[in-house]
Structure 1
Amino acid sequence: MKSKYITLLWVFLCFSSSQHLLANESDLVLKNQQGELFELSSMVGKKPVYLKFWATWCKPCMQQMPHFQHAYEQYGDTIDMIAINIDLNDDPGAVAAVNKRFNLTMPIMTDHTGKVAQHYQFIGTPFHVLLDKTGKVIFQGHEADKALDNTLRLLSHDGMVAKPHLLDEGNKQAATALIIPEYGLKAVLYTATWCDWYLADTRPSMAKNCVAAQKQMNTLAKQGIDSEARISQLWTDQAAVDEYIEKFKVIHPVYIDHGNDLFIDNKVSSVPTLVIYKNGRIVNRISDFSSPVNL
């Protein structure tokens, strides 16, 4: 089962309208390590841009960091580069540790709202996005391979590439609407199909927390509380959701948050997070499941 999921980390990618994505939108804001806000539009459209999305607990991301630092040293004068932490189950201390470990010298920023990742329709780390000097997306990928290196080399010459290298387009799905009742309680667990096993080595406490969260959600559902789970779209398809349901014997509805709109709207930056609604409004957020949830 795990080998199937690992394959998904690299190849299960569905994007739409990638060729027309431009990053010069006013709401695309990142946060640097000093906590200052940075508008991506101030960089795009002047010279080529390389955006690398990553997480500290992502094993392939760590394997690629030397390549990224080398690329910055080689092309940093002609291509603007940013290491963008996706801010999911991460913290400044962990980001700083990676910075120190690999002696990174490029700008390191955090996608604290999730909107930059959403704009580029990213579905898993590591994720490379290259823009030409006009701001057009001309490369998307996950591997630090020859295709990435060739595109960087071409961009460094005159800032343009004749033939884009984009991931498959189409098959974009709409998320099932979240219905919050006007009266009464509603429990929504924001989680991921992979957090119990993928984080087992790098973040074991988080992995255990993911297991405990789902077990407690089953308990809430048995108590008659209106309950459901929203699954992050990262590295997930319906087959992964089906296996998740079977593994944890889930007895409540489970939906993929295609586009991660609900994660963004509800400011969920860690999994698992249980959001409690009462009479149509959020009244509580729970992220520690070491003790039973009592509603």
Structure 2
Amino acid sequence: MMKSKYIMLLWVCLCFSSSQHLLANESDLVLKNQQGELFELSNIVGKKPVYLKFWATWCKPCIEQMPHFQHAYKQYGDTIDTIAINIDLNDDPRAVAAVKKQFNLTMPIMSDHTAKVAQHYQFIGTPFHVLLDKTGKVIFQGHEADKALDNTLRLLSHDGVVAKAHLLDEGNKQAATALVIPEYGLKAVLYTATWCDWYLADTRPKMATNCAAAQKQINILTNQGIDIEARVSQLWTDQAAVDEYIEKFKVIHPVYIDHGNDLFIDNEINKVPALLIYKDGKITNRITDFSSPVNLQNTP
């Protein structure tokens, strides 16, 4: 029951905000190509239509959609600038290269290494399609490779504009709870995801095991009196998902969704789980391996 609910979140957008006037002309919207070179998105936006597809190698629907994506690029690549954007969360270049080879992908493949491009387009989960017209306005957002996407691509390829935008619901935008780090003393913050222990079980079993181990160890630390809270990724997550996660792992510390992904970006979290240790207001340690017990009792 719980897993089927989460899988629906891969395709249905919850707690998502969007804007018809969202433009990508900020100079800090930078991607990294497979050679490690930086690419400014402003180089192509506002010149002709743009197709951005956000994906991950461990995302099953993303992989299922790759033949459609490659076909769309072959059909419209001359008239629509297209980029495959790996979200760079629990991923690595070798896995990306393997997917490229498996599906003979020929479009530019880049990584959102700062997560700021995904944040700008208010991305909530992979696969995520974003289409911009030739003026730079977002005119399509969606998760499925369906008729609506195909129709918009066809229209953009002709005139570069679309009369009616196809955007996701903008009525549920939520603000993140502020993270308070004490000026003195010890504080620990676990960055994780409500789905990583089961959704990654098939594609990344070691990561899934690490996610479960992290939460179990954090429960132990909480019982030892350590000041701990968890911030979970906003990807495919709502409060109901958090409540189920808390019940599943018998969590006794606070758990908050990082709406807007600000904390993940500020702390450069590109792998979950990650435990950040603060001492007297400063980060003193970053733990990502939970295969052995974490001991914070004697933190200097």
- Contact kept? 1:14, 1:167, Cα under 8 Å: no
Q: TM-score, normalised by structure 2?
A: 0.97
Q: Which residue of 1 aligns with 2:67?
A: 66
Tell me if 1:249 matches 2:242. no
Residue in 1 that maps onto 2:177: 176
Q: Secondary structure at the match of 2:11?
A: helix
1: CA distance between counterparts of 2:17 and 2:58?
A: 28
Q: Which residue does 1:44 correspond to in 2?
A: 45
CA distance in 2, matches of 1:141, 1:16: 12
In structure 2, give the amino acid aligned to 1:288: D
Corresponding residue of 2:274: 273
Q: Equivalents in 1 of 2:16, 2:241: separation in Å?
A: 19
Q: Which residue of 2 aligns with 1:188?
A: 189
Report the CA distance between 1:16 and its aligned residue: 3.0
Query: Does residue 149 of structure 1 match 2:124?
Result: no
Instruction: Give the whole-Å Cα distance in 2 for the aligned partners of 1:264 and 1:17.
Output: 19
Hey, what's the Cα distance between the residues in 1 that align with 2:281 and 2:150? Answer: 50
Distance change in 2, residues 1:171/1:51 (3 Å):
same
Output one character per residue of 1:232-282: Cα deviation in whole Å (capped at 9) or x when no partner.
Answer: 000000000000000000010000000110000000001100011111011
Question: Percent of aligned pairs with the same residue?
Answer: 88
Q: Which residue of 2 aligns with 1:223?
A: 224
Cα distance in 1 for partners of 2:181, 2:43 equals 39
Supply the distance in 1 between the matched residues of 2:229 and 2:62 (Cα, whole angstroms). Answer: 31
2:264 is aligned to 263
For residues 174 and 216 of structure 1, the distance between their equivalents in structure 2, rounded to whole angstroms, comes to 29
Secondary structure of 2:243's aligned partner: helix
8 Å Cα contact 1:123-1:235 kept in structure 2: yes
Structure 2 distance, partners of 1:273, 1:249, is: 19
Q: Distance in 1 between matches of 2:19 and 2:232?
A: 23
Q: Distance in 1 between matches of 2:234 and 2:16?
A: 12
- Quote the Cα distance in structure 2 between the aligned partners of 1:133 and 1:116: 18
CA distance in 2, matches of 1:214, 1:54: 26
Q: Which runs of 4+ in 1 moved over 6 A?
A: none
Q: Which amino acid in structure 1 is aligned with residue 99 of structure 2?
A: V
Q: Distance in 2 between matches of 1:156 and 1:51?
A: 15
* Aligned-residue offset at 1:170: 1.8
Helix, strand or coil for the counterpart of 1:10? Answer: coil
CA contact (8 A) 2:17 2:168 kept: no
2:238 is aligned to: 237
Q: Secondary structure at the match of 2:196?
A: coil
Distance 2:158 2:14 in 1: 30
- Size of the aligned set, in residue pairs, is 295
Task: Determine the C-alpha separation between the residues in 2 that align with 1:170 and 1:34.
Answer: 39
Give the secondary-structure state (helix, strand or coil) at the position aligned to 1:72. Answer: helix
Q: How far off its partner does 1:61 sit?
A: 0.1
Q: Match for 2:162: what amino acid? A: V
Gaps of 5+ in 2: none
| 1:132 maps to 2:133 | yes
SS of equivalent to 2:119: helix
Cα distance per residue 1:214-247 (max 9 Å; x no partner) = 0010011111110000000000000000000000
Q: Give the CA RMSD over aligned residues.
A: 0.7
What residue ranges of structure 1 are gaps of 5+ in the alignment?
Answer: none
Match of 2:113 in 1: 112
Shift of residue 17, structure 1, vs aligned partner: 4.4
Contact 2:18–2:168 under 8 Å retained in 1: no
Q: CA deviation at 1:31?
A: 0.2
Three-state SS of the structure 2 residue aligned to 1:268 is coil
The AA in structure 1 aligned to 2:200 is L
